[in-house]
Chains A and B, each alone.
Chain A
Amino acid sequence: MIRSGTDIARTIGTLRAQRGVTPTATLVALVAIGFFPVLVPNTYWTQIATTIWLYAVLAIGVNVVVGYAGMLTLGHAAFYGFGGYVAALLMVRSGVTWIVAFLAAGVLTGILGLLLALPCLRVQSDFLGLVTIAFGSLFTVFATNWDSITGGPSGLAGIPPATLGPIQFTTNQDYYELALSLLVVVFIVVRRLERSAVGRAWSALRDDSISASTLGVPVLYYRVLAFVIGSAIAGFAGAIYAPFITVVSPAAFNLNQSLLLVEMVIVGGLGSLPGSILGAGIFFLIPQIFQSLLVYQVGIGGAVMVLVMARRPQGLLGKTAFGQSLRGGPIARYLATLRAHAANPLTGASGTPHTGAGPHFAGAASASRPVFAGTASSLDSRPLQDATSAGVGESSGMAQFSTQEDIDASA
């Protein structure tokens, strides 16, 4: 099972590249994944696999916010839960069919995301991390205390099975296929977004929001859009979770789940869709081997996260780390070319302005970097401050400081 789990992730990973794997092999692997519950008729493993697909969907939603748009969301399980509760309430109390509840859950969760992100992102995207933590605990507080609506700590039970026209989803196998279908749809939609103007805008504002806005990218709009999409995806997943487990309770959507999602995305790979699936697989399969470590799952993930940030900021399958793709990115190359022109109109034209390459442009970086070494470093992460300090540096070259020794001594 473990082997097939990673194989699945790897196979889907190669779908993007379409290189090295023949279409036949891809097809066989996909069919194998689709028929997994038939090939391995084991309820336990079918449930685990279904959970992995649901968390892979959630991780993709988090990846849109964290990996693509470069913001931190630490309360995403609350959106998952909100979607689950909306679907459950609609189905149990109002008796609407599942597909209506499913759509309503996604849309309402997206609106909730909009209401949360708008005031926050208007000010500063850094704050989103803490606001979403607070929102996550708030969700738990309300789900636990607002008995009349949410059913209190024990939650809402007796959720009827999902139905889609004449099809009724009753067994674990049915929900396996349902969750897998959602994953495929979400994967394709987000992949399309990534390769559209939206995806390029995200990568530009993630790497350098000031440069992006000077180039005409409406930064606030795209940040909010990323957050709304990420929340809506979680809402849809919640609407599958509810009839799958048949109970929604506050404990299933607590802070630990949110943190786990961020860990999956970061370890799996920032801005990498196969990475999100791999991350979900890793975090659910490894505890199956080391059962006793399950309680420390989040903490161990935290340690891995620190390590990943310091040593491999792009994660396992990620192509770009925050701010790093910038050096070879279209904006950086464009600005570098402009500066080179300004500095030396005759010889500075060596760089090609904006080649229109897609979001992955790692190769071109090394060629242009040595030439524009100074520019590249000042574009790094705090362009304005670096620019001012460069000014200070020039003037300070002329004088030695009388205060230097004082301060050194104190330090």
Chain B
Amino acid sequence: MNFYLQQLVNGLAAGSIYALVAVGYSLVYSILYLVNFAHGDIYMFGTFVALALYEAGLPFALAAILACIVGGAIGLLVERIAYRPVRQANRIVPMVSALGAALVLEAAAQLIWGVQTLSFPQEIPQKIIHAGSVILGEQEIVIFIVAIGAMLLFTAALRYTKIGKATTAVCQDLEAAQLMGIRVNVVIMTVYAAGAVLGVIGGMLFSTYYDAVYIGMGILGTTKAWAAAMLGGVGNIYGAVAGGLLLGVLESLSGTVVGSGYEEAVPLVVIVAVLVLRPAGLFGRRLTERV
């Protein structure tokens, strides 16, 4: 029993990272119905930037903040170059464009930092706390708090600021919002930038947790964020949070039950299971095809 409780704790830490990445992802989907393939690679790139700045001698906090800004800027750039010109086209066109942008980011990262897996600064202490019979790593607690805190901040901004309200309006009906005088382009750019910033925070937490930065974490992140978003119901932000946490726990449990090496299978199994059993996700509203 304790063993499973331990896995649950481990899973929640990883899951909070997935949730963070999935939130930005889900929001972009709910506005433009665009499967944003570049999301994971933006967070991969941002994490590399954080590492590079840290190694250049900046204090970690400053490096992290700058990395978030760079990530947001890349988000804006990708939106401007790859998505906006094709926003009115058939919906597969921006998807292909997004994929292209993702591959460019990967190639750029490969050009600058190479293909090997790098180690990430362990700024969060790894002290171990015994809570009853369960071992809590201080790192896991901090990751969980940072991730949940960032999400709370984000949802609060969405609910209480003007741009947040405008975003909600655009989510509900882009054309109507535009007719009401909302500057849709500004909203979309903000969403991309904010999603990218959340992603970079998630990426840095991910890299701290696994002590690894590598190019493949981009596409891996996209897949996991998608699985999390699907679990919670695509386009539902709160669902994405719950889905992320659940995915983390599922992964952690399956790693011990089925055996490691097959952990990567969990997101796919989750996606297919959700599609077959409950296409709207666990908490989602009914999905209808939007063409």
Contact = CB atoms under 8 A, between A and B. Distances in A.
A72 B91 CA distance: 11
A141 B93 CA distance: 30
Interface in A96-145: 119-120, 122-127, 129-131, 133-135, 137-138, 141-142, 145
B89 A381 contact: yes
Interface residues of B, number: 66
Nearest to B98: A306
Contacts of B149: none
Given A131-B271, A381-B91, A385-B290, A305 B97 contact: yes
A316 interface: no
Contacts of A125: 289
A131 B287 CA distance: 17
Contacts of A161: none
Nearest to B163: A410
Interface in B142-174: 161-163, 165-166, 173-174
Contacts of B176: 388-389, 392
Chain A contact-residue range equals 35 or more
Contact of A119 (B99, B173, B179, B276): B276
Interface in A249-270: 255, 259, 262, 266
A306 B37 CA distance: 13
Nearest to A120: B275
A298 B102 CA distance: 10
Q: Which of A262, A305, A401 has the most CB of B within 10 A?
A: A305
B268 A381 contact: no
A366 B155 CA distance: 48
Contacts of A324: 89-90
Interface string B262-291: 101101100110011001000000010111
A118 to B, nearest CB: 9
Contacts of A245: none
B57 interface: no
B166 A410 contact: yes
Nearest to B84: A310
Interface of A: 66, 70-72, 74, 119-120, 122-127, 129-131, 133-135, 137-138, 141-142, 145, 206-210, 255, 259, 262, 266, 295-296, 298-306, 309-310, 313, 321-324, 380-386, 388-389, 392-393, 396, 401, 403-411
16 contacts: A120-B272, A127-B35, A130-B222, A134-B268, A137-B219, A137-B268, A138-B268, A145-B262, A262-B96, A299-B108, A309-B97, A313-B89, A384-B291, A388-B176, A392-B173, A404-B181
